[in-house]
Chain A
């Protein structure tokens, strides 16, 4: 799974710490999500997209081999 979390977070001027606090997760979780090393649950993905003010499919992009 690829994400555009970093890009959207930078646009809003949010730090990883702040986003983690908004979503209710640890900063490490945001780090691993941004690097595509962790696949979030649907609930967490919704929470993140809501915090970043974008649609879920704009932030989380499924790789071709997973479709």
Chain B
């Protein structure tokens, strides 16, 4: 706890402070109004601003400007639906914040459906004083799930790597932050590169590749204790960790014979099972949502393409699943298993693309030149990825509904984003 405090006290300057910037919203958003929250202290604006950003980032919401409100109802009973229909508002959020005691802040809020003239949600969240941002994210997720019927991701977290360049002392830092880029905290600081961070399915541990020994090695680190261990202590390179959905296995790329091949490590018995055997590169494994298939990048056709192995069938040959273009790599499955997200080269640009299994074409999702490391939100609605340009690296996001946002870095290069599971 003391360490945590020190981290908070260090000036923001040295952190990769990520500030949200929404670049484009979806065409047909839910239109909502948030009534200023009644509160003991003057915290309503802070909370509403955070909620607003959370909802806008999803790309599915339009939030009415506060100065356009025609009235200020204090409970659902005060709402005159006709007034809100005039403003074309679909849902109204109202609530209040009360200081319970020194260790607790209480937020109560309601959501009113204007078109059906009825209250659809009444919720209470107990928050931690001084952590209004967290409390706000909980309210955002409540609003999101009541209106869209899907789980919200404002309370989830992301991992990313920050490279801080200096003449002789370049630092690599693995950060964990809230999904909006705020509340960032260091997990690992090293003088050598860190790549490929991956959350365990319960979001309590992370696996990553660190070059601290002079070559690529995979480590698992417990987020709350800081305990870490090298996954395999062999004398060759090990890379590209991916957890099975049940958290019992880790798929890895081993360079045992000098060539990248994929293995599955049983984390309990430490048994290794070889999955691929080909003289070309096989790497970047990822598990299907039910853990029955593994997708990976292979150079076996002469250029990087995505392949899939069915783990339920004994000794089957991998199926090639991408055919468009000469570079398709780093695939991951959508949580509903309806398609895959990957890096696709189009002409001379590298972009993030989506392919649904029931379609025979790919959908490009991004449009800059050097996009990489796509990671899908646990509700499957948003993809974050890394953008590189001449001087910087930053994290950007795109929703399946077409909205976009960036989390620009104000210091150093930010990359390798990885989205946690649901934490709430």
Chains A and B bind each other: no
Q: Which residues of A does B touch, CB under 8 Å?
A: none
Q: Which residues of B does A touch, CB under 8 Å?
A: none
